[in-house]
Every structure is written in C-alpha cells, then in structure tokens.
Amino acid sequence: AIAEAGGNVADAARRLRTDRANLYRRMRRLGIDRK
C-alpha cells in the first residue's frame, strides 16, 4: 500500500482504512522501514 501511495504513509493509511499512527505501529512491529 505504501508503494502504491508513492511512499506517502498518510495516503497508504487512508487506502487501508486506518490511521497513520496505527500504520506506523504495524510497520514497526513487522520490521518494515519507512522508505
């Protein structure tokens, strides 16, 4: 989703129907680095 959003985390969160903070939490838990 982040790649589809062009690296825009806020847009990716919207696409996933969640908020940005929750998406950052999920990324950290999964070991995904913000690119």
Are 4 and 11 within 8 A, CB to CB? no
Q: What is the model's pTM? A: 0.78
What integer pLDDT is reported at residue 34 of this predicted model?
76
Give residue for tokens 């806020």.
10
Reported confidence tier of residue 33, pLDDT bands at 50, 70, 90: confident
Q: How confident is the model at residue 3 (pLDDT cuts 50, 70, 90)?
A: very high
Residue 35 has a pLDDT of: 65
Q: How far apart are CA 16 and CA 11, in angstroms?
A: 9
Over residues 3-24, the mean pLDDT reads 96
Q: Angle at Cα 14 formed by Cα 28 and Cα 18, nearest 5°?
A: 55
Residue 20 has pLDDT above 90, yes or no: yes
Can you give the residue range of the structural domain that contains 2? 1-35
In total, how many domains does the chain have? Answer: 1
